[in-house]
Structure 1
Amino acid sequence: MVNSGLKWMFLIIGTTIGAGYASGREIWEFFGHGSGLAIFIFVILFSLSSMFIMQISFERKTTEYRPVLEKIVGKRVTPIYDLMLFIYLYTTTVVMISGSGATGQTFHLSYWTGITFIVIALVLLFINGIGSLLYINQYLLPIMIIGLVYVLIIFSIDEQLTFFAHWREQHNWLAAFPFTALNILPLVAVLGAVGHQIKSKQEIWIASFGSGIILGIVSYLYNTSLIQISDDLILYEIPLFAILKGYPFQMVIWMSVLLWFAIYTTAAAGLLGIVTRVRSYFKLPLWVLVTITLCTMIPMTMIGFSTLIRYTYPLYGILNLYILAKLILYPIWQRT
């Protein structure tokens, strides 16, 4: 039970901590100064939303996200959100691939080398089906989280940061709602694809609240660090590298590798949602569907990593507030 709960917990975290989150760009776009309370609210909303999504998936033994979406928003609105969710998964996976290109430049490789590398790795991952994704999340995510938290704590100690210095002003608390809404939409797709594999409600509790608490801690540490260097962030495509600028090059390389794995796991989760949705229309192996999908995404990566995040993430965060509201009120309206 515990192992299964941890497996789903890391799937949730792997879906959330992608290029935008792990790089710091997504956190800075939503939070920043006066956001301590916002992050606390995010933990509560995210945990409850994850729990309700998993509960619906578990009860319906789902293999793709449409039945979950139908239960949340109703049959009339489902076609609209079905299309929107598909487009969201598509565009955010493009963001992940673009993030791989930006990360590759850290190693003095070309932008297209980074993109080619992640495309090949994603195709290879899906040759063995969903099991390979769950396996990678379960073993790589703890290393990635520990590495990220370590860097943030070292930076906080070196800069003598006070973790609760910004609690006097909490003017940005409303940011918790679009930020949560943005991050729960891909969970509908990913958890909907594995609902038939969830065995008990205990797994749901471990996965939902464990992931919420871990993401809350990382978000708070990250946001506190970014506030300290806010004047420098305009110069960096990836804010994480602004934090690392005074540290040895070996640490930059190590965190670049971890950042790439965050990008990789989230891109894989997005592709999982896409291909499980279209598999009913195209009777092809998962890896073939993944290959075709990736080929259509590559041209869109020319838009640029930070540009994609700046315009697509806030927009979807606002559009998804309806789903968040339905999930928050789930215990009430499911009885009606």
Structure 2
Amino acid sequence: MVLNRARRNFWLLARVVTAYIGAVIGAGFASGQEIMQFFVLHGRSGLLGAAVTALLFAYLGGLIMFLSVKMKSASYRDIFAFLLGERAGGIMDALNIFMLLGGLSVMMAGSAAVFEEQFGLPARAGVWAVTVLSSLVVLGGLEGVLAANVFLVPLKFLAVVAVSTAALCASRHLAQSSGTGWQGGGAGGHWLPAAFLYVSYNIVVPLAVLSSLGRMVPPVLGLAGGALGGLLLGMAVSLVTLAGLAYMPEASFCQIPLLYLAGHLGQGFRHLLGLLIWLAILTTAIADAHGFASRLAPEGGSRYRFCGIFACLLALPLSSFSFAGLVRLLYPLFGLAGLVLLAALLFVPPFKSLRKF
């Protein structure tokens, strides 16, 4: 009896952790380009930014799960209403629906680019691979999404850690590079704003995913899963930052910095990284489709499955545009919404708590 309960609690914890990590580690993270812009280009100070990022991800993950469990939420609509009020929350809700569809289109276009450039396969095959697999996962309902995350997310997380650690160990000029002040080209202009911008930019999809778990996770496991997922994300950010610093300035000129790092480790690591980037795209696409479906069908069931597949089909037309073009068009919108959410998450719950006393 005790063993069964412990096993059940472990899997619930694993589902929260992997859902969180899977929603954050997308193509930008797996390519190393996000980490390059927000952390590596700030030099050793970027490691301070990575530490702040870990704390923010841990706090926000725990907070989102706490609010979700307390409200017994099945979608992010309840969280938006609490944080922003009914009117502003409704506007953010509508915006978020379009953002999830846009993010799904971006992931499909990203899969097309990876299939064509990395694997030498037809671009449309990449689009349909993500469409079909995301639809199949959503057909399994919330349990199917969580089960897919438990299987796929550790693979891409371990691949990021493996490539970064191996590249770090193989570097012959780590001490010289990490001690050099690479400054001036990083996002935000300073390492501290960059850390906050990075978290705000990456909090929208995790909120949509984690808020759907409020009815199935006990409070303690929810808090622990959100905090642990955030700390693991921070660890991955720190490792990639260290590895990037070890190969500066050469790595800064690459579109896919982790691919440059993997190139120093042999062809096998290059293939591993190509698979990693595609897995990151797939799991983010699944998170987007799930966030869309759980918002329109919070009770789950056949309507949830229909909405998830509908989202995949609805995102198809936009996926015919280039990956880079979609990123330029949609990601500034994601960043703006993320800043609003980050500010609300940091200030509204403490303010409402103080008003009770």
TM over 0.5, shorter chain: yes
Q: CA deviation at 1:328?
A: 1.6
Paired residue for 1:91?
A: 102
Distance 1:125 1:112, change over 3 A: same
- Judge conservation of contact 1:64–1:193 (CA < 8 Å) in 2: yes
1:243 aligns with 2:261: yes
The AA in structure 2 aligned to 1:165 is G
- Kindly indicate whether the alpha-carbon contact (under 8 Å) linking 1:124 and 1:287 is maintained by their aligned counterparts in 2: no
After superposition, where does 1:246-285 map in structure 2 within 5 Å? 246-279=264-297, 285=303
Indicate the percent of aligned positions where both proteins have the same amino acid: 25
Runs of 4+ in 1 over 4 A off after TM superposition: 166-170, 229-235, 280-284
Select which of 22, 38, 41 maps to 1:14: 22
1:76 match: secondary structure = helix
CA distance in 2, matches of 1:28, 1:302: 27
- CA distance in 1 between counterparts of 2:110 and 2:145 reads 19
Give the structure 2 partner of residue 183 of structure 1.
202
> How far 1:234 moved relative to its partner?
4.8
State how far apart, in whole Å, the 2-side matches of 1:111 and 1:244 are.
24
Aligned Cα root-mean-square deviation (Å): 2.5
Of 61, 65, 68, the residue aligned with 1:50 is 61
Q: After alignment, is 245-254 or 281-290 more displaced?
A: 281-290
Determine the C-alpha separation between the residues in 2 that align with 1:206 and 1:327.
18
1:72–1:327 CA contact under 8 A, matched in 2? yes
Partner of residue 174, structure 1: 193
Cα distance in 2 for residues equivalent to 1:102 and 1:272: 23
Query: Which deviates further from its counterpart, 321-330 or 227-236?
Result: 227-236
Distance 2:181 2:248 in 1: 18
C-alpha contact (below 8 Å) 1:181/1:321 kept by paired residues: yes
Aligned positions of 1:1-336 closer than 5 A: 1-34=9-42, 35-105=46-116, 106-160=118-172, 161-162=174-175, 165=179, 171-199=190-218, 201-227=219-245, 228-231=247-250, 234-236=253-255, 238-279=256-297, 285-329=303-347, 330-336=349-355
Residue 118 (structure 1) shift = 1.2
The one-character-per-residue Cα deviations of 1:168-226 (angstroms, maximum 9, x if unpaired) are 97932211112111211112211222211112x22123212211111111112213333
Any conservation in 2 of the 1:36–1:166 contact (CA below 8 Å)? no
Query: Does the CA contact (< 8 Å) of 1:92 and 1:270 recur in 2?
Result: yes
Instruction: Using structure 1 for the length normalisation, give the TM-score.
Output: 0.90
Give the Cα–Cα distance (whole angstroms) in 1 for the partners of residues 229 and 178 of structure 2: 22
Where in structure 1 are there 5+ consecutive unaligned residues? none
Shift of 1:278: 2.1
What CA distance in whole angstroms lies between the structure 2 residues aligned with 1:46 and 1:166?
Answer: 28
Which consecutive residues of structure 2, in runs of 5 or more, have no partner in the other structure?
A: 1-8, 184-188
